Amino acid sequence: MMTAASKAKHRNGLILLGFVGLAWLLTGAVVRAEPLTVRTAVLELNPTAPPEQRGDMRVGRLDYLGGLILAADQGGFGGYSGIAVDADGAGLWAISDTGHWLRLDFRRSEAGLPTDIAAAEILPLRDANGAEITRKVLNDAEGLRYLADGRWLVSFERAHRLWVYDRPGGVATATVLVPASVAQQPNNGGIEAMAAFANGDLLLFSEEMQALNGGDGNAAWLWRDGNWRDLVWPARDDFKPTDALALENGDVIVLERFFKPVIGPKARLQRIPAAAIGSDTMLKAEMLAEWAAPYSVDNMEALDMRRMPDGSLWLYVMSDDNQNILQRTLLMVFRYQP
């Protein structure tokens, strides 16, 4: 990923966002956090199944470990489109497409699975000057990645851009230079999925924009070796990419969602092998899991993972309820054994 320091001499290099914002940080201003109470209920994988069948926890190549239904009455709770899970599983950060950060601290089982919420708070999403972003055209945050250097990367749609934060609730400290074509994405169909690699590479996926080079699929962009490259994500079956994460070995797992009023929501996870990223224009993926009703599913938009001592991955998948009473905020945990 380009940074302001490393690409300052590039003619379209990173733009530092607001020395006023930097001054705001240096003054030691306190980040205002709003505590809230989050109610939880156990989320069964298939709540309509007969009791004797509810022990079947396999979904494709994944094992369902457990999950929670989350709800709160205050603070504008909801709309979570990106998450970053603590390395030890103690909690997570989420970003809302209504313009705020959410912090959840978990109560956990002996195995380490979330069983309840011990504490929760909401922090405002700020611009480079420290002002809270209140206009929807500017605060529609869709993707969140915790970077190897300890900073936070947030993607926005409508006003399509990538901003860097030093801490949740703080000011935006830099913007990432992206190809001009990123700004051409549909108003409500921008970069919801982005994978950040440990070496600084980035892989971005457009939710709605058709591939730029005539490929059959959605536009994708790879930052590698100091350059952006146009790629194609083979969107199929009316599924749209909503999140992505890079594994230590360079593989990428992509979360996709589907919705049609008559059919309802579906979700699926696919894996792109590291060798297939950048070796060809078309990204080639293999299916890990796909699920729909009667399994628990909603508007699944957020994905992150933990590496476990046995080498498996715990994949955390969270839904965006659109702050709609007909939808829910679900947190699901799956085990994937690569």
Specify the pLDDT at position 266. 98
Residue 161 burial (CB count, 10 A): 19
Query: How many CB atoms lie under 10 A from the CB of residue 169?
Result: 19
Residue located via tokens 């396999």 = 58
Could you tell me if 105 and 153 are in contact, meaning their C-beta atoms sit under 8 angstroms apart?
A: no
Q: What pLDDT is stored for residue 214 in this prediction?
A: 75
For 276, the token pair is 């297939």
d(CA 250, CA 272): 9
Q: How far apart are CA 108 and CA 106, in angstroms?
A: 6
Report mean pLDDT in 10-residue bins for the chain, 338 residues.
39 34 43 90 95 88 98 93 98 97 98 98 97 96 97 98 98 98 96 97 97 88 97 95 98 98 97 95 97 98 97 98 96 97
Residue 31 gets which letter from DSSP? P
Identify any residues that bridge with 195 across adjacent strands, giving them in sequence order: 203
Separation CA 223–CA 267 (nearest Å):
27
Please report the pLDDT score of residue 212 as a whole number: 87
Structure token digits, residue 213: 């080079």
CB 95 within 8 A of CB 162: no
Its pTM surpasses 0.85: yes
Q: What is the pLDDT of residue 234?
A: 94
Within a 10 A sphere around the Cβ of 222, how many other Cβ atoms?
Answer: 20
Could you please report the per-residue DSSP string of 68-95? EEEE-SSTT---EEEEEE-TTSSEEEEE
Instruction: Write out the DSSP string of 132-183.
Output: B---HHHH-EEEEEE-TTS-EEEEETTTTEEEEESSTTS-EEEE----GGGG
CB 258 within 8 A of CB 299: no
